[in-house]
Chain A
Amino acid sequence: MASCTYTVPDLGSSGDNLYGPRICDQAFIDWAWDAHDFDQGDWDEGFGYEAVCDMTQPLGRTLAGIWCLNYSAEDYWNEDYSLDILHWGCRYVRENIDELDARCGDGIAFAKTQTAVIGDAWTQLYLPFFYLNGVSLRAGTLVHESRHAGGKGHDHGNNDSSWEYNGAWRWQVAWLAWFVFAGQRTSDALKTVARQRANAIINTNFTTHPGFTI
């Protein structure tokens, strides 16, 4: 067992003060817990199992990202794959991420996904995911990891070779972009940082630049 410590940034800076009251709902917590296969042993010992609504702890902050992922489309109940990714990204995350675990990590990586080809399938979320990402960017990271969980890794180091490769970076950009243009129930600031992150990915995480910005 690894031990780690962290100093929590101001809740106002991440949007957790907006999403905190929303996730603190028993029906949502029970649904999210089952839908993403959380396990107590992966989220206790300071990660939030004992205090789900405490937005200084990782579980509440992860649920905020999940809330943002699932409720940002105007008609959020329509998750048809024929629609844009803002509608079905949450469904793909639920259907492809096998289990969602919290870990300390190495202080560098935000998240990591292992597929069943190697052994157990899991997605681990690390301290930078909880404490360096605002709420909307956490949702984007979950979409990114779900693409890995679905079997699509990066094909050029940690980059995707191109937009046409249709990998995790493209999906993350697409979700963030749709969140910016059509996202509901969120703040202008969370949309601003989502647009900036999408453009930063476009500028740095494709070996061949896609040739546009959002």
Chain B
Amino acid sequence: MTKSDSPRQGDRLGLGDPMRPFGDSTTGWLLSQAMHGMHAVDAQGRHAYRQAVAALRERSGELLATLKQIEDRLSPDSYLVEWSLHYILADLEDPALIPTLVATAVRKVAERNRDMQACERPEDSQVLVQIMAVEALERLVKREKQQAIRALLEVVEAQPHLAVRQPAVQTLLQADPTLAEKLRELLPEGQRFILDLKRVPVEYLNAPIHPAEFRPCPARPGAAPRLKEHRTSPHICTNPWKEG
């Protein structure tokens, strides 16, 4: 990302060549196919995603080397691609990936400049990659419980950032509630409250709005246009013989 200056008038954006991080190997190609299919919502697309994941499981031996090659080709702020790769790795549920997942989860998070006026920043995206790595470890608890627990404890010990540490703690407590005391020792006093956090139902998560805050804009259009219906059968029966 580069910039020259930032006055009020419209800016000019040029796009660089698209990233091609997956290389020419079969494993790289399968990872790219999985990434293209991971947002599918139709049965065919979801099936293609599952097929790519199944094929990747068969190539476990090449996966780590391919991931390293991809990582080397990515720019430092390729958080979307990195997050997607870790989402796919979670679906693989391969214990051989544990060291890779731990390495991601314990990366140092960039220090937040509190003087800067910016609500959301790139480090928020970086943290999501690390949380995805923790959730991939969570998926492994049911397959390799002791190994996964050791890995998650390593994350709790080495990663001070609360947004990454908290889901690791939550997973550990679910996997083995007797770990509470050990976790209490690992956590600094100011973060021990996360041992008591509970998931709340969505109904609790309201955003109160007072009628005084309603600001109707009559000059603007209202709700979004209705979606076109996708019909798979005739709308009305035009066959008089069937209508009797």
Contacts and interface: CB of A to CB of B under 8 A. Distances in A.
A6 B13 contact: yes
Nearest to B78: A9
A11 B107 CA distance: 26
Interface string A1-43: 1111111111011110110000000011001101101000111
Interface stretch (B31-39, B93-101, B178-186): B31-39
Contacts of A106: 3, 6, 118
Nearest to B33: A12
B30 to A, nearest CB: 13
A157 B114 contact: yes
Interface string B65-94: 000000000010111110110010000000
Interface residues of A, number: 104
A27 B221 CA distance: 12
B124 interface: yes
A35 B221 contact: yes
A90 B125 CA distance: 23
Contacts of A27: 225
B193 interface: yes
Contacts of B18: 7-8, 10, 56
Interface in B188-234: 193, 197-200, 202, 204-209, 211, 213-217, 220-221, 223-227
A24 B135 CA distance: 34
B1 A4 contact: yes
Contacts of B9: 1, 41
Interface residues on B, range: 35 or more
A110 B122 CA distance: 8
Contacts of A6: 1, 13-16
A168 to B, nearest CB: 7
B116 A108 contact: yes
A62 interface: no
B127 interface: yes
Interface in A71-111: 71, 76-77, 79, 81, 84-85, 88-92, 94-96, 101-111
B1 A5 contact: yes
Nearest to A11: B36
A1 B8 CA distance: 8
A109 B121 contact: yes
B15 A175 contact: no
A71 B227 contact: yes
A158 B69 CA distance: 37
A200 B127 CA distance: 8
Contacts of A166: 207-208
13 contacts: A1-B12, A2-B11, A3-B11, A17-B36, A34-B220, A37-B220, A91-B223, A110-B120, A131-B80, A158-B116, A196-B128, A200-B131, A214-B205
Q: Which 3 A-B pairs have the closest CB atoms?
A: A109-B118, A46-B13, A7-B16
Interface of A: 1-10, 12-15, 17-18, 27-28, 31-32, 34-35, 37, 41-47, 56-58, 70-71, 76-77, 79, 81, 84-85, 88-92, 94-96, 101-112, 127-129, 131-134, 141, 144, 150, 154, 157-158, 166, 168, 170-171, 173-175, 177-178, 180-182, 185-187, 189-190, 192-193, 196-197, 199-200, 203-204, 209, 211-214
